[in-house]
A and B are shown apart, each in its own frame.
Chain A
Amino acid sequence: MDDLVERFLRGERRALSRVITRVENATPEGREYVRQLFPHSGKAHIIGITGGAGSGKSTLTGALAAEYRKRGKTVGIVAVDPSSPFTQGAILGDRIRMQDLALDEGVYMRSMASRGALGGLAPTIDDVVAVMDAFGFDYVLIETVGAGQDEVEIAGTALTTILVNNPGTGDDIQAMKAGIIEIADVLVVNKADHPGADVLVSQLQALLSLAPPGSRRPEIVKTTAVRGEGLDKLADAIEQHRQWLESSGTIDQCRNDDARHQVLSIARAILLERIRAATPEADLQALVERVASRDLDPHTAAEELAAAVSS
């Protein structure tokens, strides 16, 4: 096992692959790898790319990685696709849109299934990103599951969050709603060769002008990712956001918030595991049946479960 860490730290891609699998499967071994590799992380700029299904996230992710390669930077990509809620199986198809990078040694691309996590990510995304960061990539790009209006978790993992919009997908009231649009650090209008792109840009501009004074206004960038257009401007906008994060000191706040969120969610998982371990299945089933038959409310039932480990 230490052999694998050694090979990882020497930059062997096969070792990176093996480590990610164990981390993704949340095995005790995987947790040990995270412990050993975490101190090496914290250097990469983590970029989240989110937006609706079919908005062009995969193509944009691939094109952005290609732009970074032009700039001499290395890139790790994690692309998340949904798991079936019934069979837990998944089709992971994001590589299809990133063929041009397939043989580039400066790019590593990994597909992940969402495995029941909400928010467009996967349960172990933070650990997998930390491992990629520790491997030494300059940038780690996270592509979320196709997101709707409320999948905001990506902002807790990424330092710069890009929201991909398309022309012709709703009026300005859609954009005025709370939720995903609020987490964007850079707004991309992708498929900008389609009609309505300029209208969407002005709607977004009008929307941003309503932001409270003093808040940072996200830049709006037009791209046609499939033709590689606008990616230089997007990379520049990300760089500006990164510089702002650093010069304003916001980056420390981000790292602090992310760490808090991560620690609390791991603690929550540990407590749940302990409760499950302390509760015989028959007892749990008996409690569940009482709730199902309206004999007991779910809050009291959960209190009873939690009491098993609170003393």
Chain B
Amino acid sequence: MTSPAATKIRVLIAKPGLDGHDRGAKVVARALRDGGCEVIYTGIRQTPQMIAEAALQEDVDVVGLSILSGAHLELFPRIVAELKNRGVDDVVLFCGGIIPEEDTKALEDLGFKAIFRPGTNTQDIVKFVYENVTK
């Protein structure tokens, strides 16, 4: 058994924008919890500033964004900029939801290390988090 105060991976799962469907975000949050992470879940309709501020205050290692509205190329660059504004430049970014293949390159260029689309095995997301956080 790990020591109770042992270092834990902290993950922020956030839903930017106006779509209110957070089933996917909750499934991912739950899978990461079961994978032993501490998951901060902030609920729906978060602005880029709110997400960046939560990442700063919670000192997370990973930020996962869930989006279904199609506004990812609008919102994600603003989130990355807000994170940078606050000096939060060392978090691992991933995203999931309805994200067309042709946007993959743009999101990778923004710094997203993975895009998880519908049908992803949640264990792959847990594995991704553990492989990409160096503690």
Contacts and interface: CB of A to CB of B under 8 A. Distances in A.
A208 interface: no
A24 B5 contact: yes
B56 A17 contact: yes
A87 B34 CA distance: 6
A87 B30 CA distance: 12
B34 to A, nearest CB: 5
A27 B7 contact: yes
A96 B42 contact: yes
Interface residues of B, number: 32
Contacts of B49: 102-103
A1 to B, nearest CB: 16
A162 B32 CA distance: 33
A108 interface: yes
Nearest to B55: A17
Contacts of B87: 14
Nearest to B50: A102
B40 A88 contact: no
Contact of B34 (A83, A89, A109): A89
B70 interface: no
Most chain B CB within a 10 A radius of its CB, from A83, A87, A92, A124: A92
Interface in A64-95: 83-84, 87-93, 95
A95 B4 contact: no
Most chain B CB within a 10 A radius of its CB, from A95, A103, A108, A115: A95
Contact of A96 (B38, B43, B56): B43
B130 to A, nearest CB: 12
Contacts of B37: 89
B77 interface: no
A256 interface: no
11 contacts: A17-B58, A17-B59, A21-B10, A21-B59, A87-B36, A89-B37, A92-B38, A92-B39, A111-B58, A115-B4, A116-B4
Contacts of B10: 21
A117 B4 contact: yes
Contact of B50 (A20, A84, A103, A116): A103
Contacts of A21: 10, 59
Contacts of B34: 84, 87, 89
Contact of A25 (B7, B29, B50, B88): B7
B7 to A, nearest CB: 5
Interface string B1-31: 0101111101000000000000000000110
B57 interface: yes
Contacts of B7: 25, 27
B41 A13 contact: no
Contacts of A90: 33, 38-39
A102 B4 contact: no
B31 to A, nearest CB: 9
A228 interface: no
A174 B111 CA distance: 55
B86 A89 contact: no
Nearest to B2: A88
A91 B11 CA distance: 10
Given A25-B6, A91-B41, A110 B58 contact: yes
A103 B58 CA distance: 14
Contacts of B42: 95-96, 99
A123 interface: yes
Given A21-B59, A27-B7, 12 more contacts: A14-B56, A14-B87, A17-B56, A20-B59, A25-B5, A87-B33, A90-B38, A91-B33, A95-B41, A95-B42, A117-B4, A124-B5
